[in-house]
Structure 1
């Protein structure tokens, strides 16, 4: 059994937390005017895509700024529909929070919107990392993301659990919002998509091998 080098693991873990914290602070800085939230989020996932490819030594701020400028208008193709839908869902949630005794038929709508918001949030977490690896149209991107979400329930549940855990931690220690509010969950989503795609490729490869054997 290989012995774990705890000193090396501690240093590596500290470096990763530092990277995530710096990236999150950069994302917050560029998101301050709300209108730039969409290109800032796109740039966040662009930096994470470099990390996925083990390009961890890139300058975070400079790389972020490069993608922020380069994809500013293009980022709204994916980000604007996501933002508008999330605003509508948030308004509905706000309404039901302050008017809990709405009509019975509205209760059906209430749970429908909760379910939709949950599923759409997961699809969004899949779609952003996927957009960095493909040139799909927006519709194809959403459909592929939904396919990956449904086809990999363990990864999807893991992302959902991570999102809830991060939310609860931020409620208790709000100061961590500045360091890990977006970057940590986005990094977990990037890893989940990477593994889901590798799994899908393995399934296709196995199916081709089975077809060739007949």
Structure 2
């Protein structure tokens, strides 16, 4: 196999992997009745992407996905309760604003929109932190928020990569159905791993300085 053929094969192979992972995400979400399947399925997808990024590219997708789905079913649904509650509060606030005024961009509502932005930024690190760190649920939530606060540039890079992809999906919805979840997981996980490494290096440097 020459270099060109090898390159084309690798491209097709990765396209197939991303599409298959996205299909598993959808199917296992449905398996849990959507409500109880979405968060375990999303966690499983992020766990597989993490293994890819760490060099484990030849894993069995189905069996690995099922293992993470089964092992993290209850913990990930507890995470889902937290995310859903915050989302419901935001949605109710928005509905209240719409029912009381026709203007959503007045300065009095800036705290709500700032909170929404922080929550979206926080979600970029939540699932990566869940699968990367062996922590209790509340520690995962605190860790994600802390990492989000100290890595504004990394968060900006995540947004800069996701926005063009979401725009493309808005033009071609089929791309979102085939690759939406897996591409989102890959982008978030890729930059999150970089942020985790930076935090680890800072902690190690602080530890060394304290020992000195």
Q: If the TM-score is normalised by the length of the shorter chain, which range does it land in?
A: 0.7 to 0.9
Distance 1:94 1:11, change over 3 A: farther
Within 5 Å, which residues of 2 pair with 1:65-80?
Answer: 65-80=66-81
Q: Tell me which residue corresponds to 1:157.
A: 156
Counterpart-to-counterpart distance in 1, 2:99 and 2:28: 32
SS of the residue 1:56 aligns to: coil
Aligned to 1:30: 28
Q: After TM superposition, list the pairs within 5 Å mapping 1:120-159 onto structure 2.
A: 120-159=119-158
What's the secondary structure of 1:26's corresponding residue?
helix
Establish whether residue 191 from structure 1 lines up as the match of residue 153 from structure 2. Answer: no
User: In the comparison of the two structures, how many residue pairs are matched?
Assistant: 207
SS of the counterpart of 1:161? helix
1:31-82 deviations in Å (ceiling 9; x for gaps) = 2332111211121122222213211111212221222122212211222211
Distance 1:107 1:180 in 2: 37
Counterpart CA distance in 2 for 1:157 and 1:124 is: 13
**Distance in 2 of aligned mates of 1:183 and 1:97:** 34
Unaligned runs of 5+ in 2: none
- Residues 24 and 180 of structure 1 are in contact (CA less than 8 Å); yes or no, is this contact kept in structure 2? yes
1:44 paired to 2:36: no
Q: TM-score, normalised by structure 1?
A: 0.81
| RMSD of Structure 2 on Structure 1 (CA) | 2.8
